[in-house]
Structure 1
Amino acid sequence: LSGGQQQRVAIARALVKNPKVLLADEPTGNLDESMRDEIMEVLETQWKEHGLTFVMVTHDSALAKKAPRLATIRKGRITVTENEAAAKAR
């Protein structure tokens, strides 16, 4: 399996038991943009319809902008900001 295929399988395996919390380190890092968007739609459905708490580490700013709450670590400091537009979309 390619890296992207392995990543999609890992996400599917994580979601199959309907967890309450999902921790993901760069969940779309090995995916192209269209597959990234598809995976994020699936995850978004899980948190909107099934109450999934999704904690994600990413360097993808487009992905981060979709999060209702964003914690940023810079120079050893953690800053938490609310993304009102994303929160309303939830």
Structure 2
Amino acid sequence: VKRWGYRGGPETHGSMFHRAPGSIGASSFPSRVFKGHHMPGRMGTDTASVKGLKVVKVLPEQNLVLVKGAVPGPAGGLVTICKRG
């Protein structure tokens, strides 16, 4: 639903089709799923850039850069700092 922007099915009255993909292809012909069909999978390979963060302090002896603001990504994730320009 989130990855491809699908609306989804009804959530009440005993519906079992909230976020399910539904039909993915015909059975007898062509007996396969077409290439490029929108299916569930990982979402989040895009790099997020945030502008306007402030570098508060650099501690080279502890190998730290203190940044003020919301840094995207998980805790312990890799962050790249670029010069504004």
Higher relative helix content: 1
Whether TM exceeds 0.5 here: the answer is no
Higher relative strand content: 1
Q: Which has the higher contact order (CA 8 A, sep 6+)?
A: 1
TM-score bucket of the superposed structures, by smaller chain:
under 0.3
TM-score (norm 1): 0.24
